[in-house]
């Protein structure tokens, strides 16, 4: 018995070459990278301002948060934001493409 597999319109017509699929994957990952970079920039700025301000104004923070600790706090938040947003963007793009191929099949 032959299995019926949902195919995109390009695959049904024999037009989906590996190059086209690779180009789509690169485009989706590029979107994820750009969204992650924007999120990292915003999160880094949003974290840097209160971290540096508290290290200068609060006695506890002044005594315990040296410049290395401040940089670690800021970079951890920015890195986390990058990976979370990039992952969610790539997964949303893959889900969107998956729904398109399932509906059109």
30 confidence band (pLDDT: 50, 70, 90): very high
The CB density around residue 76, as the number of other CB atoms within 10 Å, is: 12
* pLDDT at residue number 24: 81
The Cβ of residue 104 has, within 10 Å, a number of other Cβ atoms equal to 12
Give Cα 21 to chain centroid, integer Å: 20
What average pLDDT does this structure show over 69-97? 94
CB 28 within 8 A of CB 93: yes
Q: Tell me which of 57 and 105 has the higher pLDDT.
A: 57
Per domain, the residue ranges of the chain are 34-98
* Average pLDDT over every residue of 48-56: 96
Q: Write the CB contacts of 28 (distance below 8 Å, at least 6 apart in sequence).
A: 90, 93, 94, 97
Q: What pLDDT shows up at residue 94?
A: 83
Overall pTM > 0.95 = no
């Amino acid at each position: 018995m032959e299995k019926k597999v949902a195919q995109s319109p390009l695959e049904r017509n024999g037009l989906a070459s590996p190059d086209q699929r690779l180009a789509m994957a690169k485009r989706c990952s590029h979107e994820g990278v750009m969204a992650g970079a924007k999120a990292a920039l915003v999160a880094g700025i949003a974290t840097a301002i209160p971290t540096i301000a508290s290290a200068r104004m609060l006695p506890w923070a002044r005594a315990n948060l040296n410049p290395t600790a401040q940089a670690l706090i800021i970079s951890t938040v920015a890195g986390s934001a990058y990976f979370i947003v990039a992952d969610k963007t790539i997964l949303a793009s893959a889900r969107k493409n998956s729904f398109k191929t399932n509906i059109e099949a």
